[in-house]
């Protein structure tokens, strides 16, 4: 019997931003064009449905991180066009007046003026001094600290570094309007939409494979339980932060997800799903702020696997 393949796409933000260093955002106008294109050319399926029953190729749409703009700009377009999507939410910033950690880092190093000319990180293992006198140097510092935070340290240590950075910057730590994430009430509104399903994406968005089992379990279980408490329903979908197999999640991660009641988990492995794919390693391909012509070309490429 012929079964279909699924191209899972992942987005992060639908917004127009002054700075978008990590290329996470698609403008609402372009997002609508992209959705219209998909609706006209493909069957669109829900992430959670049983794809083994498909007899033709299909597309699934997902969002990672849980930015407020998903609710503000993406969901109205998805509802208008009746396109289903799954939103994977990191729970750590909820009601905390905090941004996701890479946004905080951006705020600390790349936004505003009057910077102290160097930053000295106090840490027995990674202690280091960065020149922060020019924007170029600060960009360099941003990249260096981002790399260390993603690959080498625990969420606990990351928080400790953040406190040092805020003290160095001499500003009050708070979330900027443009980088707000979903609140508990926002999540409830989201989950009432017939086209949206909500999944978990850890508490504080670490690269899980770099954590020991205990810390992985805390990050995974706490985010699932928090969402279950807020939404009063079982959470069975998960997306691994950063999502690269072996680099960002491992066998242990998959095992913990299974133990926590997850039945399907999304990675960022660049491939198409087929009937032989592992439900705990659903491959996905990223979408950037592409105009409709470029999007069309990318979609054609993306089906080549
Ligand atoms: Zn993410």
In sequence order, the β-bridge partners of residue 255 are none
Question: Would you state the pLDDT for residue 305?
Answer: 72
Question: Would you state the pLDDT for residue 70?
Answer: 98
pLDDT digits (tens, 9 = 90+) for 28-58: 999 999 999 999 999 999 999 999 999 999 9
Q: How far is the CA of 201 from the centre of ligand 1 (A)?
A: 7
pLDDT digits (tens, 9 = 90+) for 241-283: 999 999 999 999 999 999 999 999 999 999 999 999 999 999 9
Q: In whole angstroms, how far apart are CA 255 and each of 8, 171, 221, 259, 269?
A: 23, 41, 12, 6, 18
Is 7-30+41-95+177-287 assigned to CATH 3.20.20.370? yes
Q: How far is the CA of 225 from the centre of ligand 1 (A)?
A: 18
Q: How far is the CA of 89 from the centre of ligand 1 (A)?
A: 8
Q: How far is the CA of 205 from the centre of ligand 1 (A)?
A: 6
First to last CA, the chain: 21
Please report, for the chain, the start and end positions of each structural domain, with discontinuous segments joined by +: 7-30+41-95+177-287, 101-169
Q: How far is the CA of 230 from the centre of ligand 1 (A)?
A: 20
Tell me the C-alpha distance between 270 and 267, whole Å: 9
Q: How far is the CA of 241 from the centre of ligand 1 (A)?
A: 4
The one-character DSSP state at 287 is: -
Q: How far is the CA of 123 from the centre of ligand 1 (A)?
A: 26
Q: How far is the CA of 116 from the centre of ligand 1 (A)?
A: 31
Q: How far is the CA of 127 from the centre of ligand 1 (A)?
A: 27
Question: Would you state the pLDDT for residue 2?
Answer: 61
pLDDT < 70 regions, the chain: 1-2
Tell me the C-alpha distance between 3 and 15, whole Å: 36
The answer to whether the beta carbons of residues 74 and 190 sit under 8 Å apart is no
Residues in the chain: 305
Q: What is the DSSP string of 207-276?
A: -GGGS-HHHHHHHHHHHHHHHHHHHTS---EEE-SS--BTTTB-HHHHHHHHHTT--EEE---SS-B-TT
Tell me the C-alpha distance between 206 and 156, whole Å: 11
Q: How far is the CA of 267 from the centre of ligand 1 (A)?
A: 10
Question: Would you state the pLDDT for residue 19?
Answer: 87
Question: Would you state the pLDDT for residue 169?
Answer: 97
Q: How far is the CA of 10 from the centre of ligand 1 (A)?
A: 10
Q: How far is the CA of 268 from the centre of ligand 1 (A)?
A: 10
Q: How far is the CA of 137 from the centre of ligand 1 (A)?
A: 26
């Amino acid at each position: 019997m012929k079964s279909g393949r699924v191209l899972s796409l992942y987005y992060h933000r639908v917004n127009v931003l002054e700075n978008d260093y990590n290329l996470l955002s698609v403008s609402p106008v372009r997002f609508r064009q992209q959705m219209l294109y998909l609706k006209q050319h493909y069957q669109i399926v829900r992430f959670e449905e049983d794809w083994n029953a498909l007899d033709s190729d299909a597309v699934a749409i997902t969002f990672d991180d849980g930015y407020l703009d998903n609710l503000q700009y993406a969901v109205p377009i998805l509802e208008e066009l009746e396109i289903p999507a799954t939103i994977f939410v990191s729970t750590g910033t909820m009601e905390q007046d905090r941004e996701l950690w890479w946004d905080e880092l951006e705020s600390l190093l790349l936004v505003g003026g009057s910077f102290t000319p160097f930053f000295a990180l106090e840490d027995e293992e990674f202690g280091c001094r960065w020149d922060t006198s020019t924007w170029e140097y600060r960009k360099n510092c941003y990249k260096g600290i981002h790399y260390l935070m993603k690959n080498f340290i625990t969420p606990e240590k990351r928080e400790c570094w953040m406190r040092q950075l805020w003290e160095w910057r001499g500003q009050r730590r708070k979330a900027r309007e443009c980088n707000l994430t979903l609140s508990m009430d926002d999540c409830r509104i989201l989950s009432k939409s017939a086209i949206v399903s909500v999944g978990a994406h850890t508490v504080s968005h670490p690269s899980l494979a770099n954590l020991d089992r205990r810390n992985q379990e805390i990050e995974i279980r706490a985010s699932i339980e928090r969402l279950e408490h807020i939404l009063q329903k079982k959470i069975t979908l998960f997306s691994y932060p950063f999502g690269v197999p072996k680099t960002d999640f491992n066998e242990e991660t998959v095992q913990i997800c299974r133990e926590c009641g997850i039945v399907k988990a999304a990675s960022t492995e660049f491939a198409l799903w087929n009937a032989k794919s592992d439900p705990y390693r659903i491959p996905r391909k990223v979408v950037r702020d592409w105009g409709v012509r470029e999007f069309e070309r990318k979609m054609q490429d993306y089906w080549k696997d």
